[in-house]
Amino acid sequence: MVTAAPEEQLKLLAVQQHASRLRQLARQRAEAAQDPALAAAAQALADARAVAAGAEARRGEADAAVEALETQAATVATRIAKDEAQLIAGQAGAGTLQGLQREIESLTAKASELEDAEIEALDAAEAAAGEQAGADAAVAAAEAANEAVRSDVRERIAGLDAEAASTQADRDAAAALVQADLLALFEATLQRRGAGAARLFHGTSEGSGLSLAPVELAEIKRAAPDAVVLCPDSGVILVRHPDWM
C-alpha cells in the first residue's frame, strides 16, 4: 500500500491541475479541428464552383451558337456574291439568269434571318458572359471566406498547441517533485478514472462532486495522515488538509 506524507500528497493537486488543463486543451483542439464553420465554408465554395461551372458551360454553348451562325452567314454571303457575279456577267441563258435572281433573293432573305438570329445569339452570349463573371466573382469570394475560416482555425489550434506544450512542461516539472510510488498511483488512477487526485473539502469529494456519507467521512478522518485514501465514488486519490476538514 502506498503511503506518503500529507505535504507530498498535496503536490498531486498541482499535477492534477495541469493534467485537467491538458485534457481541456485536447478537447478544445478537437472541437476546433471539427468546427462546423469549416464544413460550411467548404460547402459554400463547392456550391459556388458548381454554379460557375454551369455558367461557363452555358457561355461556351452561347459562344458556339454565335460562331455557328457567323459561319452560316459567311457561307450565304459567299453564295450571294458568286450568284451576283454570274448574274452580272450575263453569260447564261435567260432561264438560268432568272434562277440565279430567285436564288439571290432567297439567299438574301436567309442572310437577313441569320443576321437577326446572330443578334439574338450575341445578346445571349453577352448575358452568359455576365453570368459567368458574376459566378467567378462568387467563387473568388467563397475562396476568400473559406481561407479566412481555415486560417482562423489554424491560428486557434496553434495557440492551443502552444499552451498545451507549456502546460505539459509545467505538469512534468510538478510531477518530478512527487515521490515515485505516489506518482505511479496517481498516473494509473488518472488513466482509469480521467482524474488522479482531488481535494476532500468540508466533507465533499471534489473528484465526484458528492458529499461523503457520514460513515465514509468518519473512516477517512480516522486514517493516518500519511495514508493514501481514495474517493469511494470516483476512485481518485483524496487529498486531505486540516483546514479543509
Domains of the chain: 6-30+179-240 (no CATH), 35-159 (1.10.287)
Q: What is the pTM of this model?
A: 0.77
In order, the DSSP letters of the chain are: --B--HHHHHHHHHHHHHHHHHHHHHHHHHHHHT-HHHHHHHHHHHHHHHHHHHHHHHHHHHHHHHHHHHHHHHHHHHHHHHHHHHHHHT-S-HHHHHHHHHHHHHHHHHHHHHHHHHHHHHHHHHHHHHHHHHHHHHHHHHHHHHHHHHHHHHHHHHHHHHHHHHHHHHHHHHHTTS-HHHHHHHHHHHHHHS-SEEEEETTEETTTTEEPPHHHHHHHHHS-TTB-EE-TTT-PEEE--GGG-
pLDDT tens string for the chain (245 positions)?
899 999 999 999 999 999 999 999 999 999 999 999 999 999 999 999 999 999 999 999 999 999 999 999 999 999 888 878 877 776 656 667 777 788 888 888 998 999 999 999 999 999 999 999 999 999 999 999 999 999 999 999 999 999 999 999 999 999 999 999 999 999 999 999 999 999 999 999 999 999 999 999 999 989 999 999 999 999 999 999 877 76
